[in-house]
């Protein structure tokens, strides 16, 4: 049988949960997505796999059930981990949760967070199978496929006394900023979309490699910064940071998957699908 592994995992989840709704919760998917994958499994097998009735789904023992059960029991992903390079903001706060406890939790991975330039270099050299970056780079061999967007926001401390921050060029020019590796592109994107211009000369209070230190520094009132919105969810929940948005106008950046078409790791397509589905929620 030519059955995609993800359909078998969905089938097993429905068997264990007993309903589409419960399985959808376990798989972090919509009921419609789970139902679709069951239909695709039944199409591949050429027979129904469940008896449907009274809101419950019971495995169908007819036909080739014994062989299907054996396939499900033995279905495992290749032992070779999926090697991923991703820019820090997107990789840590959007991508990693999908593998930690989301739809891709069963895939073994090796993930690290270099700069965007080094992400593409790692894909080019074969050091990683898949990369995620926030800008498209022209390359003769590496494909850049848009897989979603991320919102970029201006952040400030929720507690430290500070003057009111106005979203105009004069006020923002006088502010103190906390920057980080990759922030040049992120800042330029935000200034261009929100102000209609880039600001190349900023008053930098501190610079860090990673976003964790940036968020802590800003939360302590030592400056402001511009970061992907996904990074600040926990800090906002604790009341440590605020996001400053211009009414009726937001800043979004495209996320690209960088990949070598010659790389055929079996988990790549499933990963790209999960990333796209996550971006649509």
Convert the pLDDT of each residue in 178-232 to its tens digit. Answer: 999 889 999 999 999 999 999 888 999 999 988 999 999 999 999 999 999 999 9
Higher pLDDT residue, 156 or 18?
A: 156
- Region for 223 from its dihedrals, namely left if φ exceeds 0, alpha if ψ lies in -120 to 50, beta otherwise: left
pLDDT > 90? residue 57: no
Q: Please give the pLDDT value at position 2.
A: 47
Convert the pLDDT of each residue in 21-35 to its tens digit. Answer: 888 887 767 788 788
State pTM to two decimals.
Answer: 0.71
pLDDT grade for 163, boundaries at 50, 70 and 90: low
Cα 92 to Cα 96: distance, rounded to the nearest angstrom: 5
Domains and CATH numbers, the chain: 5-74 (1.10.10.10), 79-281 (3.40.190.290)
Q: Please give the pLDDT value at position 236.
A: 94
Higher pLDDT residue, 166 or 214?
A: 214
Convert the pLDDT of each residue in 72-110 to its tens digit. Answer: 555 544 568 999 999 999 999 999 999 998 889 889 999
CB 26 within 8 A of CB 13: yes
pLDDT grade for 1, boundaries at 50, 70 and 90: very low
Q: Please give the pLDDT value at position 8.
A: 73
Higher pLDDT residue, 149 or 280?
A: 149
Q: Please give the pLDDT value at position 90.
A: 95
CB 157 within 8 A of CB 240: yes
pLDDT > 70? residue 50: yes
Higher pLDDT residue, 163 or 155?
A: 155
For helices 20-27 and 5-17, the axis angle rounded to 10 degrees is 120
Q: Please give the pLDDT value at position 73.
A: 54
For the segment 65-72, the average pLDDT, to the nearest whole number, is 55
Cα 87 to Cα 122: distance, rounded to the nearest angstrom: 12
Query: Which residue, 85, 224, 243, 117, is CA-closest to 181?
Result: 117
Q: Please give the pLDDT value at position 71.
A: 56
Q: Please give the pLDDT value at position 62.
A: 43
Q: What share of the chain is helix, strand, coil (3-state, %, to 5)?
A: 40, 25, 35
């Amino acid at each position: 049988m030519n059955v995609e592994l993800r359909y078998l995992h969905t089938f097993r989840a429905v068997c264990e949960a007993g309903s589409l709704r419960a399985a959808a919760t376990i798989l972090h998917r919509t009921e419609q997505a789970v139902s679709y994958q069951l239909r695709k499994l039944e199409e591949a097998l050429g027979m129904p796999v469940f008896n449907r009735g009274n809101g419950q789904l019971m495995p169908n023992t007819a036909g080739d059930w014994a062989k299907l059960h054996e396939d499900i029991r033995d279905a495992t992903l290749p032992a070779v981990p999926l090697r991923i390079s991703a820019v820090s903001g997107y990789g840590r706060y959007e991508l990693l949760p999908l593998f930690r406890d989301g739809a891709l939790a069963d895939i073994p991975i090796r993930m690290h967070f270099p700069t965007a330039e080094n992400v593409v270099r790692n894909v080019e050299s074969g050091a990683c199978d898949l990369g995620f970056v926030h800008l498209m780079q022209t390359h003769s061999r590496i494909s850049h496929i848009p897989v979603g967007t991320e919102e970029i926001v201006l952040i400030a401390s929720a507690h430290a006394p500070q003057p009111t921050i106005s979203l105009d060029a004069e006020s923002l020019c006088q502010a103190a900023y906390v920057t980080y590796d990759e922030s040049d592109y992120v800042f330029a994107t935000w200034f261009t979309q929100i102000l209609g211009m880039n600001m190349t000369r900023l008053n930098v209070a501190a610079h860090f490699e990673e976003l964790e230190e940036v968020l802590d520094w800003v939360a302590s009132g030592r400056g402001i910064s511009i970061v992907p919105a996904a990074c600040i969810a926990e800090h906002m929940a604790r009341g440590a940071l605020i996001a400053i948005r211009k009414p009726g106008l937001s800043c979004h950046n495209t996320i690209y998957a960088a990949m070598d078409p010659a790389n055929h790791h079996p988990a790549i397509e499933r990963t790209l699908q999960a990333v796209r589905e996550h971006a649509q929620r």
